[in-house]
C-alpha cells in the first residue's frame, strides 16, 4: 500500500514539474519571437563577391566603388559606403511587415563626413519618406549604437530598411542591423507611426489635385428659357439703340444756315 502511495506521489511530482516546465517554455516563446531578427542576413554573413544576400545598392553617382562588403575573420561583417564627393548613397533591403510595433537597431561609424552638410543613417523608408537613427561627425568616430521604434498600420505593407550616407564625401560603416517585433514603446523612446505619416501624405495629395468641372445641375427646360432671356435682352438693346439714332437731327451739313 505504501509503495502504491509512493508511486502516486512520485507521478504527481513528475506531472507538476512537467507542467511548470511547459509553462516556462510557453512564456519564453513570445520573448524569443520578439528577439528574433526579422531581417534575413542582418548580420551580413551570407553573400557572394561584394554583395551580401538580400541587400542592394542605390546611388546618384552610380559609382560601384562607393559600396563594399567588409568581412573580418573572427569579427562582425560590415556594410561600407565611401563617397569621393558629396552624394546620396545607401544599402537597401525591402521587407513586408504585418501590423504592429517594430524596433530597428544597429551600429554605425562615421569617418570624414562634413557635419554641416552630411550625415549617416540607419532607418526605415515608406512611400518616399525616411525616419531613423541619424548621426554626423559631431558625434564620436567610434561605433555608435541606437534604434528606432516604428508602427505599421493595418493591413500591413512593405518598407525599406536603409543604411545611408548623404550630403557629403566621407565613409560610413554599418553592422549588426536588426529588426524585431516590439510592444508599444516608452514615451521617451524615438518612435514614429508610419500609418499616420501615410494618411497625412494622402490627404495632402488629395488637396493638391485640382477637382474636375462638375456636371451642370438643373432641369432641361432652363436651358432654352435662359437662351430666350438673353435673346430678348439683345433685341431690346438693338431697338433702343435704333430709336436713339432716329431721334438725332442730321448735321451732315455742319448745322449752319446760309443767307441768300
Helix (H) or strand (E) holding 191: strand 191-193
DSSP state of 26: H
Report the domain count for the chain: 1
Q: Which CATH number belongs to the domain containing residue 104 in this structure?
A: 2.60.120.260
Phi, psi (5° rounding) for residue 222? -70, -25
190 within domain boundaries: yes
Contacts of 107 (CB under 8 A, 6+ apart): 143, 144, 145, 174, 175, 176
33 within domain boundaries: no
Over residues 92-125, the pLDDT tens digits come to 999 999 999 999 999 999 999 998 899 999 999 9
Residue 163 in 3-state DSSP?
strand
149 within domain boundaries: yes
Per-residue pLDDT, 109: 94
CA distances in angstroms from 167 to 57, 103, 133, 215, listed in the order given: 17, 26, 16, 50
Over residues 15-35, the pLDDT tens digits come to 455 443 433 333 433 444 468
The boundaries of the domain holding residue 149 are 47-206
pLDDT band per the 50, 70, 90 thresholds, residue 64: confident
pTM beyond cutoff 0.75: no
Cell of 88: 546620396
Amino acid at each position: 500500500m505504501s509503495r502504491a502511495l509512493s508511486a502516486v506521489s512520485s507521478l504527481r511530482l513528475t506531472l507538476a514539474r512537467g507542467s511548470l516546465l511547459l509553462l516556462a517554455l510557453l512564456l519564453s516563446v513570445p520573448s524569443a519571437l520578439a528577439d528574433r531578427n526579422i531581417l534575413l542576413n542582418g548580420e551580413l554573413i551570407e553573400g557572394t563577391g561584394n554583395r551580401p544576400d538580400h541587400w542592394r545598392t542605390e546611388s546618384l553617382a552610380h559609382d560601384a566603388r562607393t559600396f563594399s562588403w567588409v568581412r573580418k575573420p573572427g569579427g562582425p561583417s560590415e556594410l561600407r559606403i565611401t563617397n569621393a564627393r558629396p552624394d546620396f548613397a545607401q544599402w537597401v533591403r525591402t521587407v513586408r511587415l504585418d501590423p504592429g510595433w517594430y524596433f530597428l537597431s544597429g551600429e554605425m561609424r562615421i569617418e570624414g563626413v562634413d557635419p554641416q552638410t552630411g550625415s549617416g543613417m540607419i532607418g526605415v523608408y515608406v512611400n518616399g519618406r525616411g525616419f531613423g537613427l541619424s548621426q554626423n561627425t559631431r558625434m564620436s568616430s567610434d561605433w555608435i549604437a541606437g534604434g528606432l521604434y516604428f508602427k505599421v498600420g493595418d493591413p500591413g505593407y512593405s518598407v525599406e530598411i536603409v543604411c545611408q550616407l548623404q550630403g557629403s564625401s566621407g565613409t560610413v560603416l554599418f553592422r549588426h542591423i536588426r529588426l524585431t517585433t516590439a510592444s508599444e514603446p516608452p514615451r521617451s523612446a524615438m518612435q514614429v507611426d508610419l500609418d499616420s505619416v501615410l494618411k497625412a501624405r494622402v490627404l495632402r495629395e488629395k488637396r493638391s489635385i485640382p477637382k474636375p468641372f462638375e456636371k451642370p445641375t438643373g432641369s432641361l427646360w432652363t436651358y432654352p428659357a435662359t437662351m430666350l432671356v438673353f435673346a430678348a435682352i439683345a433685341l431690346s438693346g438693338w431697338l433702343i439703340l435704333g430709336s436713339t439714332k432716329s431721334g438725332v437731327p442730321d448735321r451732315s451739313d455742319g448745322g449752319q444756315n446760309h443767307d441768300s
